Amino acid sequence: MIPGPFSYRRATSIEEAIALLQQYGGDAKVLSGGQSLIPMMKFRLAEPAVIVDINRVPGLDTIEERNGLLSIGGLVRETTLERSPLIRQRYPIIADTAEVIADPLVRNLATVGGNLAHGDPANDHPATMLALRAEVVARGPSGERVISIDDFFVDTFTTALAPDEILTEIRVPAPPPRSGGAYMKFERKVGDYAVAAAAAFLALDEARKIVRAGIGLTNVSYKPLRAEAAENALLGQAPSDELFRAAAELAAQAADPTSDLRGPAEYKRAVARTMTFRALQKALSRAQAA
């Protein structure tokens, strides 16, 4: 398990990184935590000629709330996210997500930016960010642009990022009152990618009706999915197990998984339903406690 030949460049500023990417064009790959890229190179599924290491680029590893937004730097490690008091208290759905990614060794290196930029429908953050209606900030030769999460995932391993763009930040709307979210993942064993997983986010109005609903699904389609019909079914309703079951059923119908060693498609759809239902229940209990 030895990668093919490649050369390694280390950038110390975002400008330098972008310049390197421009210089090598499609032959170069950004290296963040390396926890997806390096295994793919070892199996020779990816053979980039050049690796541009952005780990020394300053300013990409902060977590802060400002102007009603949570800002997560592209290089924030999963471990940092998992342990951040801000995340744990205000955004438990993100802590839920970080905690079930791989294992502690991987999480010490893996980054949130890499997790989204990889465009892998099996990764866990995309569903959560879809449920939260996040935005992705990208920097390229012509400056910065903000991409809605709904436009970000294009295809398996393909995102809206251009080859010379770097994901610098993820922005998440701060939680409204009476809101809560949860991420529920079913995996065959710890460290595994999800058989299916669901992120659910709910906000209630003063009459305890649902005014915002977000549901994202992991590993049940060619790209991360937002279960729109399920979200719509929740809006304006009073939460109940019955309602959640109906929404979970709609989410399962939106899923389009393929059969593999994690199980037949039908099974994955059922797990997506179970996870959606349980995530909604947990999101509700958090919203009620908020």
Partner 1 sequence: MTTTPIRGLGHPVKRKEDPRFIRGKGTYVDDVKLPGMLYLDIVRSPYAHARIKRIDTSKALAMPGVVDVITGAELEKAGLAWMPTLMSDRQMVLPTERVVYYAQEVAAVVATDRYTAADAVLAVEVEYEPLTPVLDPFKALEPGAPLVRPDREQKTNHIWHWEAGDKEKTDRIFQEAEVVVSQDLYIPRIHVCSIETCGCVVNYDRAIDKLTIWMTSQAPHAHRTVFSLVSGIPEHKIRIISPDIGGGFGGKVPVYPGYVIATYAALKLGKPIKWIEDRSENLQADSFARDYHIHAELAATRDGKIRAMRVHTVADHGAFDAAANPSKFPAGLFSVCTGSYDMEAAHVAVDGVYTNKPPGGVAYRCSFRVTEAVHTIERMVDVLADELGMDPAEIRFKNFIRPEQFPYKSPTGWEYDSGNYPATLQKALDAIGYQELRREQAERRARGELMGIGISTFTEIVGAGPSHTFDILGIKMFDSAEIRVHPTGSAIVRIGVQTQGQGHETTFAQIVAEELGLPVENILVEHGDTDTAPYGLGTYASRSTPVAGAATAVAARKIREKARLIAAHLLEVSPDDLEWRDYAFRVKGSPDRFKTMQEIAFAAYTNFPLGLEGGLEAVCYYDPPNMTFPFGAYVCVVDIDRGTGQVKVREFLAVDDCGTIINPMIVEGQIHGGLTMGLAPALFEEIVYDDNGTMLTGTFMDYLLPTAVETPHWKTDKTVTPSPHHPLGAKGVGESPTIGAPPAIVNAVVDALSHLGVRHIDIPITPAKLYQLLVEKGVAE
Would you tell me which residues interact with partner 1 (CB under 8 A)? 1-2, 4-5, 44, 103, 186, 188-193, 195, 261-264, 267, 270-271, 274, 277-278
Q: What is the C-alpha to C-alpha distance for residues 35 and 12, in angstroms, rounded to an integer? A: 21
37 binds ligand FAD (CB under 6 A): yes
Neighbouring residues of 152: CB distance < 8 A, sequence distance ≥ 6: 116, 136, 159, 160
**CB count, 10 Å around CB of 198?**
36
Q: What is the C-alpha to C-alpha distance for residues 150 and 64, in angstroms, rounded to an integer? A: 23
Q: Which does 4 bind (CB under 5 to 8 A by kind): partner 1, ligand FAD, none?
A: partner 1
Least distance (Å) from ligand FAD to the CB of residue 114? 2
Q: Which of residues 64-93 bind ligand FAD (CB under 6 A)?
A: 74
* End-to-end Cα spacing for the chain: 49
Interface pick for ligand FAD out of 123, 128, 179, 276 (rule CB under 6 A) = 123
Least distance (Å) from ligand FAD to the CB of residue 167? 4
Interface pick for ligand FAD out of 11, 20, 98, 117 (rule CB under 6 A) = 117
**CB count, 10 Å around CB of 200?**
36
Q: Which does 186 bind (CB under 5 to 8 A by kind): ligand FAD, partner 1, none?
A: partner 1
Least distance (Å) from partner 1 to the CB of residue 269? 11
Least distance (Å) from partner 1 to the CB of residue 250? 17
Q: Which of residues 199-218 bind ligand FAD (CB under 6 A)?
A: none
Q: Cβ(181)–Cβ(286) under 8 Å?
A: yes
115 binds ligand FAD (CB under 6 A): yes
Least distance (Å) from partner 1 to the CB of residue 245? 10
124 binds ligand FAD (CB under 6 A): yes
163 binds ligand FAD (CB under 6 A): no
Q: Which does 167 bind (CB under 5 to 8 A by kind): partner 1, ligand FAD, none?
A: ligand FAD
Which of 107, 135, 113, 88 is closest to 14 using CA atoms? 113
Total interface residues for ligand FAD by CB under 6 A: 29
Encode 199-249 in three state secondary structure.
EEEEEECCCCCEEEEEEEEECCCCCCEECHHHHHHHCCCCCCHHHHHHHHH
Which of 215, 197, 221, 220 is closest to 274 using CA atoms? 197
* Window contacting ligand FAD (CB under 6 A); options: 4-12, 114-122, 172-180, 259-267: 114-122
Least distance (Å) from ligand FAD to the CB of residue 232? 27
DSSP state of 13: S
DSSP state of 158: E
Q: Which does 45 bind (CB under 5 to 8 A by kind): partner 1, ligand FAD, none?
A: none
In sequence order, what are the beta bridge partners of 85?
none
Cβ nearer to partner 1, comparing 124 with 135: 124
**CB count, 10 Å around CB of 127?**
33
Least distance (Å) from partner 1 to the CB of residue 24? 21
Q: Within 13 Å and on the Cβ side, how many CA atoms surround 164?
A: 14
